[in-house]
Amino acid sequence: MPQAELIDGKAVAASVRDEIARRSRDLLKAQGVKPGLAVVLVGEDPASQVYVRNKDKMAQAVGFHSVKHTLDAGTPEEDVLALVRALNEDPDIHGILVQLPLPAHIDESKVLRLVKPEKDVDGFHPINVGLLTAGERSAALVPCTPAGSLVLIKRTLGPDLSGKTAVVIGRSNIVGKPMASLLLQESCTVTIAHSRTRDLPDVVRAADIVVAAVGRPQMVRGDWIKDGATVIDVGINRIPAPDLGPDKTRLVGDVAFDEALGHAGAITPVPGGVGPMTIAMLMSNTLTAARRQLGLGEDIPAF
């Protein structure tokens, strides 16, 4: 049985970054403005620190004005809110990203709602959520992971997805729900499934496109995958890897990758699939936000 094509998220993300860098240079030349991205990190969560460092590095690589605000874990909620208010009014900052999770004493919802929708490059503000759900994608800022996943799907299957059957496993506000909205707008027939869906394997077997974002390591088995389906594995899970040595771990997705290779037509690896696309689409959102705030319109490619 032939093995699935590996969808190289690193290579696609690099092409997106190159395009963003070119358009950023054009903006600086024409308007004298660099897209400005501010990242707010509260606390010392190691994974968050890595993500923020990577985002800052990428922003600088594509020619953005990049600012990082690192606050102690014990910072009062009002101080975080005051910082967001200041960034909202800073004309040099076009995009604001508050790194999650926040410490328990800070109301995440309150902080995220305070970010101006036009600067909400994570796409989490209720106004952006509503615009996307209402089919007004061109007016919204779209969450980065679903946006990047759609780019990978189109790079694999072509720009016209109409009539495809898609199953999104996972119903989170960050991935599952916006992913379903994006696929609906591409004229796919979409099912949102989750860990409590009855007969989940049979539901998945009907899909031309499977997006796994349920947060359970290797939950989706290979024989759940329809032969030739395109599989986008959003999961990032760390599991014990005794074969690598005592106390060693490895990263796996929500799909049993080795099993799925014999069924899928194309599949994203973990790592190296969706992850690089998330940061690339953050850069895209920041450029989009800058152009809108400057009154220049979109001029952003669909990649």
d(CA 211, CA 187): 16
Sole residue written with tokens 């696609």:
12
- Sort 91 into a burial class: Cβ within 10 Å, 0-12 / 13-18 / 19+: exposed
- Which of 190, 266, 192, 183 has the alpha carbon at shortest distance from 230? 266
d(CA 194, CA 171): 7
Q: Are 254 and 219 in contact (CB under 8 A)?
A: yes
Residues noted as catalytic = 55, 99, 122
- Which of 146, 103, 104 has the alpha carbon at shortest distance from 123? 146
Q: Are 232 and 210 in contact (CB under 8 A)?
A: yes
Give kind and range of the element (H or E) at residue 284: helix 274-293
List beta partners, residue 192: 168
Task: Name the token pair of 253.
Answer: 């997705």
